């Protein structure tokens, strides 16, 4: 059963997000009420009460966020990290300074729930890697932009 944590990122989730190797599952819904979920790996905490993410401007989830500001993220990680975050989305940079096809969105946290099970535990989160050195360079540039914005916004 989910336990309400509050609006500030707990230390284990904050550290997971700062690792730059996590994937959050972003859930949105369309104007017609159709749900959509997608993985997001370019995200970074802005303090303890907001997240920044970079998303392609043509993603269905991006369009849903612009229309319906409320979103949910699910994060799973090593050490039994299991949280959902309800947040309010707002575009803070369009386009990204790294690539005009990407936009930066801030998610202000409304509520965090600890989703740990009493019967099982999370041993590892989603594992991922870049498909080429060029994409890795691009990904690092996106993350550097998010880290910079986390300090200046």
pLDDT mean over 75-95? 97
Displacement of CA 99 from its chain's centroid (Å): 19
Q: Cα–Cα distance between 65 and 125 in angstroms, integer?
A: 25
% the chain with pLDDT above 70: 99
pLDDT in tens, 35-80: 999 999 999 999 999 999 999 999 999 999 999 999 999 999 999 9
Q: Give me the chain's average pLDDT, please.
A: 96
Does residue 1 have a pLDDT over 70?
no
Does residue 2 have a pLDDT over 90?
no
Task: For the chain, give every domain's residue range.
Answer: 3-152
Q: What's the pLDDT at 114?
A: 97
Q: Cα–Cα distance between 89 and 17 in angstroms, integer?
A: 17
Cβ 51 vs Cβ 45: under 8 Å: yes
Choose among 147, 109, 114, 117: nearest CA to 20: 147
pLDDT mean over 23-33? 95
CATH number for 3-152: choose from 3.10.129.10, 2.30.110.10, 3.40.50.1360, 1.10.260.40: 2.30.110.10
Choose among 97, 93, 95: nearest CA to 105: 93
This prediction's pTM = 0.94
* Ranges assigned E (strand) in the chain: 3-6, 24-29, 35-40, 43-46, 50-56, 70-77, 81-93, 102-114
């Amino acid at each position: 059963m989910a336990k309400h944590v509050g609006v500030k990122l707990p230390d284990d989730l904050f550290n997971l997000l700062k690792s730059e190797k996590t994937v959050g599952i972003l859930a949105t819904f369309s104007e017609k009420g159709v749900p959509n979920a997608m993985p997001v790996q370019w995200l970074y905490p802005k303090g303890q009460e907001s997240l920044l993410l970079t998303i392609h401007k043509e993603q269905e989830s991006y369009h849903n966020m612009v229309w319906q500001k409320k979103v949910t993220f699910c994060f799973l990680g090593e050490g039994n990290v299991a949280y959902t975050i309800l947040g309010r989305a707002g575009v803070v940079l369009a386009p990204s300074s790294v690539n005009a096809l990407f936009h930066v969105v801030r998610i202000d946290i409304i509520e965090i729930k600890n989703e740990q099970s009493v019967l099982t535990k999370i041993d590892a989160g989603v594992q991922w890697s870049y498909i080429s050195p060029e994409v890795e360079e691009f990904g690092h540039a996106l993350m550097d932009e998010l880290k910079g914005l986390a300090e200046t916004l």
